[in-house]
Structure 1
Amino acid sequence: MPVPHAPRPHPPRRRAPGRLGPALLAAVALPCGAPAQAAADSPDGPGWTAEPATGRAGAAVRPYFYLSGAPGAVLEDSLALANPTDREHTVTLRGADAYNTADGSPAVRPPAGPGLGPAPGTGPGSWIDFGRSATVRLPAHTRAVVPFTVTLPAASTPGDHPAAVVATEAGHEAGVRVHLRVSGPTVAALTVEDVAVRGRGGAAVIAYTLVNRGNVALAPTLAVRADGLFGEVAGRGAHALPVELLPGQRVELTEPWPGAPAFDRVRLTLTATAPGAARAMGTAPAAWCLPRSPMGLLGLGLLVLGGLGGAALFLVRTRRPQDPHEEQEQEQERERGRGHAPGGRQRTERDELTGASR
């Protein structure tokens, strides 16, 4: 499920730098009808749930973690694990880097280590530490609150550093988003690239790439303008996109275009905006929109043939040969208009006085 762009700040607890001590696991009986019950009883579910701890009874449920601090700070929070089933579960916890897949979906990096994935990195997932609580045993019908720390490196750059807490058991995983922000100057910057039209008619879609060139996560909106040979045609008004674009990420998206014309030469302009970011625009080269169905193509062909036939008929009529007698009469009329005598001789004043025949 997409994470909202504007998280509600949850004031983090700070502690002096150092290794997290023994886990404080609060194992309590789950009340009957707990919200986690339905998910736990699902045939495909892991049998347990993971979510941010609320800290006190009756507090609002947090959909994710939100932690912020200056470089070098050590922050604290807690993860709540619930086991409403009749059997014991053993869950392993880790931090992971979060990123966008090519289509904009949120995802987390796989675990590091021999045979498990890339070598250990320096991303925000590596800043999360569960200490000796990385493996948690959950007896039946119990709930465990597991503390963890987030150590912001002294050299960490300002802005958002997306991460996640991942709980794993026997191939089942549950992730909770962790919004980390390092204090300092923030930059919201967005670009639109590689705009193109795919398909024709009602099946036409607009393909494009969004790139987050800043250091904060963005919730973009998009507007589509289309200009044809005879003026503007139907595009799409500004609307929110179902994606959270993380810093430094690029995503390839497609946009439906229900108003695509059946026949026109169209130039598309996409305008993307996001809170705090300057307006970004991208254009596609002008391209012909043609009918998709065979009947539509047939009608277009007949229309073009009819236009060519009309043009040919007009040229024939304007360039038809004239009758020789008609051409001679027109030439004589032009001669009289220029004041010439027949035979091409210039008429003179003497001709007028002597009554020379005309």
Structure 2
Amino acid sequence: MPVLHVPAPSPRRVLPVRRLCLAALVPLLAAAALYGAPARADEPGWTAEPAAGRTAARPYFYLAGTPGTVLEDRLALANTTDQERTVTLRGADAYNTADGAFAVRPARPAAGDGPTGAAAGAGSWISFGASATVKIPPRTRAVVPFTVTVPPASPPGDHPAAVVATEGGREVGVRVHLRVSGPTLAALTVEDVAVRGRGAAAEVAYTLVNRGNVALAPELSISARGRFGEVPGRSAHPVPVELLPGQRVELTEPWPGAPVFDHASLTLTVTAPGGARATGHASAWFVPWGIAAWTGAGLLGLGATTSVALLLVRRRRTRRDDPPALVGVPEQEPVAEHELTGAPR
């Protein structure tokens, strides 16, 4: 399928003439000057997005089919500068980074295929054919067709991928939501739950693992109980990540309701559409170390004072138990004893 080139729409046709006035003339002239000037060094001067559908624009590509199907779609490239642009197109596998962001794999070298090779997963199913390199004339919009060939033995579920456009070292990725028909399973696990920080700065660290074959939009809630009763947790709310199949992400959740002085047992519950549900547990001591230090110093001082007092009392008791000494009483001579024999003297 050939590349379709059409002139880029002029921004001057967007504003009706009846709305022009002196107040609107200044921003209009500024916009016209920006549109007519070459792109700055930090501006690429071109865009890549799905070609508009029959009803409205699309933020991503949405494709679905059975194994062995060949799907078709179109990518729109717009050159807004006065210079011709040469853009290279390829398919790429998509994945979650460690913190949950959406990312694409770099191009893989292949033997006999030059510096840029095919992806290993669903990205390798995307082909632009002879249109892998597109030259876009100045102020022109190019519509580039591509195909997605689903292998016959493809497992059912979501296969995340992206279309990547490269020019001058800059890459722009357009996400491809691709689902192969068949049984789907929404499943996840929560691992490595731990509590970090104290007080209002406390947070819960945890790991989410997608064990199913569809992308998940999880929701999370926190419940906790301490030695003195229930502890404020967090109600169910969305987690700002889309967890792709087979991916593992490490996240943290603020816990402003953490106790100040207590031992709390925490339960973290994660759910997702499709019946996915998992829980994780952790426990932690919450001790205000500043107060604990002053309390420890006070107890240490109290213990020292008590020891000194006990020592003094013991000494006084020892002195009282000693026998009194006789002062000023002369020693008496022993009295001679006479033996009684019964004989007169």
Q: 1:256 aligns with which of 254, 257, 272?
A: 254
For 1:206-355, list aligned pairs within 5 A: 206-284=204-282, 286-291=283-288, 294=290, 296-298=291-293, 301=296, 305=299
Query: Are 1:92 and 2:88 matched, yes or no?
Result: yes
- The verdict on how the C-alpha distance between 1:48 and 1:300 changes in structure 2, with shifts beyond 3 A counting, is farther
* Structure 1, unpaired ranges of 5+: 1-20, 317-358
Partner of 2:9: 30
Using a 3 Å threshold, how does the CA distance of structure 1 residues 254 and 178 change in structure 2: closer, same or farther? Answer: same
SS of alignment partner, residue 126 of structure 1 = helix
- Distance in 2 separating the partners of 1:119 and 1:94: 9
CA distance in 1, matches of 2:294, 2:274: 49
Determine the C-alpha separation between the residues in 1 that align with 2:183 and 2:116: 31
1:68: which partner in 2? 64
Deviations 1:250-306 (A, max 9, x none): 10000111111111101110000000123211101x2201226x3x44455479x49
Is 1:191 the counterpart of 2:170 in the alignment? no
Q: 1:161 to 1:114 in 2, by over 3 A?
A: closer
Q: Distance in 1 between matches of 2:13 and 2:208?
A: 41
Q: Distance in 2 between matches of 1:160 and 1:175?
A: 18
| Residue deviations 1:3-47 (CA, integer Å, cap 9, x gap) | xxxxxxxxxxxxxxxxxx4x2323323322699x88x95652311
Query: Which residue is equivalent to 1:143?
Result: 141
Question: Normalising by structure 1, what TM-score?
Answer: 0.73
Q: Which runs of 5+ in 2 are unaligned?
A: 15-33, 311-345
Secondary structure of residue in 2 paired with 1:76: strand
- What is the CA–CA distance in structure 2 between the aligned matches of 1:267 and 1:137, rounded to whole Å? 61
CA distance in 2, matches of 1:195, 1:273: 16
The one-letter code of the counterpart of 2:190 is V
Indicate conservation of the 8 Å contact 1:98/1:109, yes or no: yes
1:81 corresponds to 2:77: yes
Counterparts of 1:82 and 1:217, CA distance in 2: 31
Aligned-pair CA distance for 1:201: 1.9
Which amino acid is the alignment partner of residue 286 of structure 2? C
Q: Mean Cα displacement is larger for which, 212-221 or 224-233?
A: 224-233
Letter paired with 1:90? T
Contact 1:197 1:206 in 2 (8 A): yes
Q: CA deviation at 1:114?
A: 5.8
Q: Residue 156 of structure 1 corresponds to which residue in structure 2? A: 154
Task: Give yes or no for contact 1:160–1:181 (8 Å, CA) kept in 2.
Answer: yes
Q: Deviations over 1:153-197 (max 9, x none)?
A: 000000000000000001111110000000000000011111001
Tell me which amino acid in the other structure corresponds to 2:285.
W
| Contact kept? 1:110, 1:117, Cα under 8 Å | no
Structure 1 distance, partners of 2:61, 2:12, is: 25
Which amino acid in structure 2 is aligned with residue 288 of structure 1? W
Task: Give the root-mean-square deviation of aligned CA atoms.
Answer: 2.7
Decide which of 40, 50, 53 is 2:51's aligned counterpart: 53
> How far off is 1:198 after superposition?
1.2
1:104 partner SS: coil
Shift of 1:118: 9.6
Distance in 2 separating the partners of 1:262 and 1:200:
7
Residues 118 and 195 (structure 1), Cα distance of their counterparts in 2 relative to 1, 3 Å cut: farther
Match of 2:169 in 1: 171
User: What displacement does 1:111 show?
Assistant: 0.4
Q: Answer yes or no: is the 8 Å Cα contact 1:30–1:84 preserved in 2.
A: no
